[in-house]
A = this chain, B = another copy of it.
Amino acid sequence: MPHILSTTDADFEERFTALLSMKREDSPDVDDVVAGIIADVCARGDAALIELTSRFDRLDLTPDTLAFSAAEIDRNCALVTPQEREALETAAERIRAYHVRQMPEDVSWTDPEGATLGWRWTPVSAAGLYVPGGIASYPSSMLMNAIPAKVAGVPQLAVCVPTPDGQVNPLVLMAARIAGVDRIYRLGGAQAIAALAYGTQTIPPVDKITGPGNAFVAAAKRRVFGKVGIDMIAGPSEILVIADRDNDPDWIALDLLSQAEHDESAQSILITTDAAFGQAVAQAVEARLETLDRREVAGASWAGNGAVITVRDLDEAAELSNRIAPEHLELCVADPEGLARSCIHAGAIFLGQWTPEAIGDYVGGPNHVLPTARSARFSSGLSVMDFLKRTTMARMTPQALTAIGPAAETLATSESLGAHGLSVRARREKLNAQGTNTG
Residue numbers of A with Cβ under 8 A of B are 83-84, 86-88, 90-91, 94, 97-98, 101-102, 104, 107, 109, 111, 115-117, 119-120, 122, 124-125, 135, 138-140, 171, 207-208, 226, 228-229, 233, 248, 250-251, 254-255, 257-258, 260-262, 288, 292-294, 298, 336-337, 340, 344-367, 370-371, 373, 375-381, 383, 385, 389-398, 400-401, 404-408, 410-412, 414-424, 426-427, 430, 439
Contact = CB atoms under 8 A, between A and B. Distances in A.
B349 A366 contact: no
Contact of A408 (B208, B363, B376): B363
Chain B CB within 10 Å — which of A104, A207, A414, A419 has the most? A419
A360 B347 CA distance: 35
A407 to B, nearest CB: 4
A294 to B, nearest CB: 6
B288 A422 contact: yes
Contact of A261 (B86, B378, B418, B430): B418
Contacts of A352: 395-396
Nearest to A395: B351
25 contacts: A84-B411, A86-B410, A101-B109, A111-B365, A119-B366, A122-B344, A139-B415, A226-B233, A226-B373, A229-B375, A251-B426, A254-B419, A254-B422, A294-B419, A349-B393, A354-B401, A355-B394, A356-B423, A358-B417, A358-B421, A359-B396, A359-B408, A363-B411, A364-B394, A366-B394
Given A392-B348, A392-B381, A396-B352, A140 B424 contact: no
A257 B417 CA distance: 10
A44 B213 CA distance: 36
A423 B251 contact: yes
Nearest to A397: B354
The 9 lowest CB-CB distance pairs between A and B, nearest first, are A229-B378, A366-B392, A351-B395, A87-B410, A254-B423, A257-B419, A358-B420, A87-B407, A380-B390
Given A254-B426, A352-B396, A361-B408, 9 more contacts: A87-B406, A97-B111, A171-B414, A226-B373, A255-B423, A257-B419, A348-B391, A348-B393, A349-B394
A136 B270 CA distance: 50
B87 A411 contact: yes
A221 B278 CA distance: 41
Contact of A293 (B120, B140, B228, B416): B416
A404 B348 contact: no
A388 to B, nearest CB: 8
A408 B358 contact: yes
B397 A363 contact: no
B423 A358 contact: yes
A418 to B, nearest CB: 4
